[in-house]
Amino acid sequence: MLKIRSLSVQYGERPVLREVSLDLKRGEVLALIGPNGSGKSTLVRAVSGVIPVAHGYIRVDGQDVTHLSPMQRARKIAVVPQAISLPPAFTVWQTVLMGRTPYLNFLGQLSQRDKEIVNQALTRVQALHLAQRQVGDLSGGEAQRILLARALAQSTPILLMDEPTAHLDLKYQVSMLHMIRELAHHDGLAILLVLHDLNLAAEYADRLALLAEGQITAIGSAGEVLVADLISPTYGLPVQVVSHPLHGRPFVTALGAPQV
Amino acid sequence: MSRYSNVIILIALVVALALSLAIGSVSLPLSELLKALTGHGNELADSIVWKIRLPRTVLIALTGMALGGSGATYQGLFRNPLADPYLIGVASGAGLGAVVAMSLHWPYSLWGMMAVPVAAFGGALLTVTVVYMLARVGKTAPPTTLILAGVAISSFATSLTSFLMLRSEGELHRAMSWLMGGSIQLGWIPVLAILPYLMIGLTILALSGHALNLFQFGDEQAQQLGLNVVYVRKVLLAAASLTTAAAVSFSGIIGFIGLIVPHMMRLWFGEDYRRLVTLSILGGASALLVSDVLARIVLSPQEIPVGIVTALAGAPFFLWILRRVKSQEAG
């Protein structure tokens, strides 16, 4: 579905991503993990087309998307950003409606179908009852669901999510990740997810990719990626990986102070 | 209230148009006015309405439409509640362009007149580009730096304008009286001269609601949602500047309408730019018509420039918005 090969990105002279290659399949949740500044968000931004690619290609179903217009690209790839600094005066309905942008004509007219899709997207994230509320009045968890609904309204086969659980409490984190897994396994979306919490990644993602200094150093199942020999040097922190008593997946705990 | 927004704003416009036609040094009762408009009035009323009042009213209404529409667009594009064609210096830049054109010897014909907005457009585009580049921090222009850059560039343009006027002896008077809004003596020619530019500019602005909504999410999200941010921003800046330029060409520099009107519309009818731009266009016409009527009657029979009225009402309003922005930035 999504195929990235030798992708390199630079900010000025500084390389931020180096020769990144990965595949994302239909119906799969791939969690992107790595320390701060390792290039996770940059990868999301590069794939969504808001920063230029220095080298390499990004293909969706065999088609190179780096030369597509923003509108064509937004029909293939949707992004769920972090729920910070949304325009507070818009209603939830208006916000989700923005997801229909790549399908509107130049007059910006809405069809009945657009409205139905917005309704479905809101229903999908269990937020239809919020439709007429102003975004500024929502809790962090609600706002994050609205952004997910907006991305769903784009009707794309691929979703990119930049730390969708960053500002949520435990309950909202779990419910958001449940929703994400459903969307992949049930609706067949291909989802690339930036996550900080290694243990949530282990629990909800089908595969994990570890990013360190702009390079992918490991990719595979939680058991293959979450091993102390990889995680400790990458994060500069002694860790121990144990098997979780309930589901048996790897569970990472920090041991002592970081090596600064 | 937002459901009836169009009706409310259209009624306001009709009332404002009627006031503008009826009130002046010769006051016309409504019955006389209707007779004259349908061509059944006496000779004096006919000539007052058709040769003086109507062209002036139409010019003022068009100017108000331009200022309201471009104000709403600048505010949306810069994500900045203080953006206004006057405060960000575009109007002064357009005025400079217009005076440069006028200080040359150009004919009084319609074609000669139609060249003035083009020169004003050049001045407006130059100003908005310079101001935006000066004020930009990352990809947004914070309210205060935008206004500071606008004020600086605006004073520069105004000084150049005054300098040009002082140098060009014969043409000085004409340029001066135009920039003070004196072109109302010219009948229908100014109206016809700006109409094509306004039609183009206002049509683009009226269709830009969805794009302006997208800009409120920031450039990055707007692009991820499918908007060609770089291209659309250029088109809208050009359209808003063309509209401002057309307004300034024959009505002079009129401040604050482009600031107040979009704000009132936003307060009353909500944030959605799909409606906000159109409502600001129509509301701008009403607001400037009423200001113009006031300008005619405050010191009657003498008239004062309409820009004085809008500034008297607008400056306190500007300070009020500034306070709100400050408290929002603090909270």
- Tell me: the pLDDT tens digits for A194-203? 999 999 999 9
Nearest-CA distance from B207 to chain A in Å?
6
C-alpha–C-alpha distance, residues B136 and B158, integer Å: 23
pLDDT the model gives residue B38? 83
Q: Using CA coordinates, name the residue in chain B closest to A160.
A: B224
Q: Cite the DSSP H helix spans in B106-228.
A: 110-135, 143-167, 169-179, 189-206, 209-215, 219-224
Ranges A79-93, A205-219, B108-122: which has the least confidence: B108-122
pLDDT the model gives residue B4? 84
CB B113 within 8 A of CB B178: no
Say yes or no to pLDDT of B331 above 50: no
pTM of the model: 0.91
List residues of A whose CB lies inside 8 A of any B CB: 45, 48-50, 69-71, 73-75, 77-79, 81, 85-87, 89-90, 94, 98-99, 101-102, 104, 106-108, 150, 154
C-alpha–C-alpha distance, residues A229 and A246, integer Å: 24
Residue in this structure with the two tokens 């909504």, named with its chain if needed: B213
| Percent of residues, chain B, with pLDDT higher than 70 | 90
Model ipTM over 0.90: yes
- Grade residue B163 by pLDDT with cuts at 50, 70 and 90: confident
- Type of residue numbered A9: V
pLDDT the model gives residue B23? 87
Average pLDDT over residues A248-255: 89
Q: Where are the domains of chain B?
A: 2-330
C-alpha–C-alpha distance, residues A47 and B125, integer Å: 34
User: Which residue out of B225, B232, B263 would a mutagenesis test of the A interface target, given it has the greatest number of A Cβ atoms within 10 Å?
Assistant: B225
pLDDT the model gives residue B324? 80
Residue in this structure with the two tokens 């119906």, named with its chain if needed: A27
Query: Residue B328 has which token pair?
Result: 């929002």
pLDDT the model gives residue B302? 80
Mean pLDDT score across all residues of chain A: 92
Q: Does B136 touch chain A (CB under 8 A)?
A: no
pLDDT the model gives residue B139? 63
CB B161 within 8 A of CB B95: yes
Residue B86 three-state SS: coil
Torsion sign over Cα B141, B144, B145, B151: positive
Chain B positions in Cβ-Cβ contact with residue A107 (cut-off 8 Å): 207
- Grade residue A60 by pLDDT with cuts at 50, 70 and 90: very high
pLDDT the model gives residue B173? 64
A43: nearest Cα among A166, A179, A205, A163: A163
CB B288 within 8 A of CB B257: yes
- Grade residue B183 by pLDDT with cuts at 50, 70 and 90: low
pLDDT the model gives residue B322? 80
Say yes or no to pLDDT of A160 above 90: yes
CB B207 within 8 A of CB B86: no
Chain A positions in Cβ-Cβ contact with residue B270 (cut-off 8 Å): 89
Residue A84 three-state SS: coil
Average pLDDT over residues B228-256: 91
- B93/B324: higher pLDDT: B93
Cβ separation of B217 and A79 shorter than 8 Å? no
pLDDT the model gives residue B40? 79
pLDDT the model gives residue B246? 93
- Grade residue B132 by pLDDT with cuts at 50, 70 and 90: confident
C-alpha–C-alpha distance, residues A254 and A134, integer Å: 41
Average pLDDT over residues A194-218: 95
Instruction: Write the burial class of residue B3 (CB in 10 Å: 0-12 exposed, 13-18 middle, 19+ buried).
Output: exposed
Say yes or no to pLDDT of B330 above 60: no
Query: Residue A175 has which token pair?
Result: 């419910």
Pick B2-330's CATH classification: 1.10.3470.10, 2.160.20.10, 1.50.40.10, 1.10.645.10.
1.10.3470.10
Query: Residue B213 has which token pair?
Result: 């909504």
Q: Does B206 touch chain A (CB under 8 A)?
A: no
Mean pLDDT score across all residues of chain B: 86
CB A114 within 8 A of CB A104: yes
pLDDT the model gives residue A257? 74
Peptide bond into B107 cis (omega under 30): no
Query: Residue B38 has which token pair?
Result: 């349908």
Q: What are the start-end ranges of the E strands in A121-229?
A: 158-162, 190-194, 207-212, 215-220
C-alpha–C-alpha distance, residues A143 and A135, integer Å: 7
Average pLDDT over residues B83-100: 89
User: What is the side-by-side strand order in the sheet with A29-33?
Assistant: A77-80, A158-162, A190-194, A29-33, A207-212, A215-220
Average pLDDT over residues A138-144: 91
Average pLDDT over residues B296-324: 86
- A35/B138: higher pLDDT: A35
C-alpha–C-alpha distance, residues B251 and B65, integer Å: 12
Say yes or no to pLDDT of B138 above 80: no
Q: Using CA coordinates, name the residue in chain A closest to B223.
A: A70
C-alpha–C-alpha distance, residues A193 and A97, integer Å: 23
- Grade residue A146 by pLDDT with cuts at 50, 70 and 90: very high
Cβ separation of B226 and A71 shorter than 8 Å? yes
Nearest-CA distance from B288 to chain A in Å?
27
- A-B Cβ pairs (cutoff 8 Å, strict): 68
pLDDT the model gives residue B178? 66
For chain A, how many residues are written? 260
- Type of residue numbered A35: P
- Grade residue A48 by pLDDT with cuts at 50, 70 and 90: very high
pLDDT the model gives residue B329? 61
> Rg of chain B over CA atoms, in angstroms?
20
Cβ separation of B228 and A74 shorter than 8 Å? no
